[in-house]
Structure 1
């Protein structure tokens, strides 16, 4: 008679966490950072169809790394959560904090109750009236939530990307320079990686816009901003935001 196979709960949780981390690290990174007029999202993502960055609600956006079908499922849940709460109560009652709590519950349940955890990491961000009231929440595969300030990196070779962000990030950067900082950080995933506009997915939550504050940047605009960032250099200021609001 064979002995039953036993794994301690601690070992089972550790194995699931290791599995999820490996899956997330195999992808390409995403960075989220505050800039003068709001919050910038930059993904190393050549796909025009499979978005890593999406709008959730009026002032709220979502960025993710890992398994596309799993984070797309979470994105759709988030949109439904926002629509139902905004309809039943008030649009102002839909917040990044509330959404982050809902995601934390969903991810935590999957992690503890399912054999296979979600291989995802997500950021939920809400742009405020000024930089001090912006909110950026990072959620990991087990439902842990971190309240981030300034910038966050997820996925891929995340340590190198986060280190590069730390070195170059400053508060109140204009859009072009903030994008330059984000792209430089993403390029640290590989020694000789150079990212062109067509390989990037970029979006902003722009607090100066009316109504919909989320905006995707087309490749031509990304290219223009990267050229402005290069001309400005690390020490210079860029005029890259002028005329943006009408686009």
Structure 2
């Protein structure tokens, strides 16, 4: 019996990384997650889709948590469902405030990282950002999970799916309208093809996530000016 050829880990890890990063970069997706006066805005490119019926890139997960994804839709959907189940079970067993962005990101990192570490299984072709709306603005956090399971925590704007992620410029006290305008430029898409979600800091309900229409938001902003 012939033994399988040995492949150094550095080689197959580099090969898998290039495979997934090239797919994400060239896949046509684009998502921006940024803090704003109203809370946290999540804006995605949805070219050619009927947004009410289309394949979403921005999702509600729990009271103060949202998920943004680029990559294969069915993998994002699988992880969305896993995140909701994780959040619901944790809230039931402990308390709703124990469902944190850090715990959700750790769960996603374990799933994605274990698959990436197996050379006999196709890696997830996906990149995620978990957005957590803090009880106060200083507690807002973003957790970006890469295709190898690596996690990066941040508070500044996150851009996924773009070749040059340094193009996003926002004023210090950006509104959701500012984020939408910037996203339209950076993602190179018309307002009608933008999917917009907001973790709204000012609502009185337990659930803070709501979907917005980009043109309506900018139209209302123009009426106030």
Q: TM-score, normalised by structure 1?
A: 0.82
Task: Give yes or no for the alignment of 1:21 onto 2:21.
Answer: yes
Counterpart of 2:190? 196
**Residue aligning to 2:166:** 163
Runs of 4 or more above 6 Å deviation: none
2:150 is matched with which residue: 144, 161, 167? 144
- What residue in structure 1 maps to residue 200 of structure 2? 206
Determine the structure 2 residue equivalent to 1:43.
44
Which whole-Å CA distance do the structure 2 matches of 1:103 and 1:29 have between them? 20
Deviations 1:46-104 (A, max 9, x none): 43221100000000000000011111111110000000000111111000110001111
SS at structure 2 position matched to 1:170: coil
Kindly state the Cα deviation for residue 129 of structure 1 after the two structures are TM-superposed: 2.8
Residue 99, structure 1, aligned to residue 93, structure 2: no
Structure 1 partner of 2:88: 83
**Contact (CA 8 Å) 1:34, 1:171: kept in 2 or not?**
no
CA displacement at 1:172 relative to structure 2: 2.0
Q: CA RMSD in A?
A: 2.0
Answer whether contact 1:16 1:117 (CA < 8 A) is retained. Answer: yes
In structure 1, runs of 5+ residues without a counterpart are: 188-194, 232-237, 241-247
Question: In the superposition, relative to structure 1, how do residues 102 and 4 fare at CA in structure 2: closer, same or farther (>3 Å)?
Answer: closer
Query: 3-state DSSP class of the match of 1:164?
Result: coil
User: Which blocks of at least 5 consecutive residues in structure 2 are unaligned?
Assistant: none
Moved more, 32-41 or 43-52: 43-52
Looking at structure 2, the residues matched to 209 and 228 of structure 1 have their Cα atoms a distance apart, in angstroms, of: 18
CA contact (8 A) 2:184 2:190 kept: no
- State the secondary structure of the residue aligned to 1:163: coil
Name the structure 2 match of 1:67. 72
Report how many aligned residue pairs link the two structures. 218
